């Protein structure tokens, strides 16, 4: 929705919140859509590439719906797929958290820490939610596939 106020164009989202721009807050290269923010944005692509390398995947799905269900569509055993799903969901959360810090924090966040956040948060989530998960932090950060295959 658009509104003119004293010659200034004011943009509102669907909830009526005033927006400075409809462009991606992270890269400013395209409109901020869900597909762009979590899949097509250069920062998101770099993060998903890191997750692929970390989990020994060649590539990740390039559409949002497939990315959301990525863990269930690979050939991991069921327990490993559940742990990988935590990583996927943590990645979405970390990208969103980074975007919000760009929007609302005075000091801009460092994008080079997103991967570390994903590793830390996914390890914490799994280790506190799974009785059988006994992994040291360093092993998880280096080779989560090997860690999961031993469980």
CA distances from 70 to 4, 52, 63 (A): 43, 11, 10
Mean pLDDT for the chain?
87
Q: What pLDDT digit, counting tens, does each position of 59-111 carry? A: 999 999 999 999 988 888 888 999 999 999 999 999 999 999 998 899 989 99
SS3 5: strand
Predicted confidence band of residue 2 (pLDDT cuts 50, 70, 90): very low
pLDDT of amino acid 149: 85
């Amino acid at each position: 929705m658009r509104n003119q106020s004293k010659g200034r164009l004011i943009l509102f989202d669907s909830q009526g919140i005033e927006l400075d721009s409809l462009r991606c807050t992270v890269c400013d290269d395209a409109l901020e859509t869900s597909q762009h923010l979590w899949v097509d944005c250069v920062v998101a692509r770099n993060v998903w590439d890191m997750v692929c390398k970390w989990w020994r995947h060649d590539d990740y799905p390039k559409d949002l719906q497939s990315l959301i269900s990525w863990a269930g569509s690979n050939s991991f055993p069921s327990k490993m797929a559940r742990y990988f799903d935590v990583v996927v969901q943590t990645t979405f959360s970390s990208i969103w958290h980074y975007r919000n810090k760009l929007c609302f924090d005075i000091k801009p966040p460092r994008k080079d820490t997103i991967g570390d956040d994903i590793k830390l948060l996914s390890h914490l989530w799994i280790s506190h939610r799974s009785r059988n998960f006994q992994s040291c932090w360093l092993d998880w950060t280096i080779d989560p596939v090997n860690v999961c295959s031993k469980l």
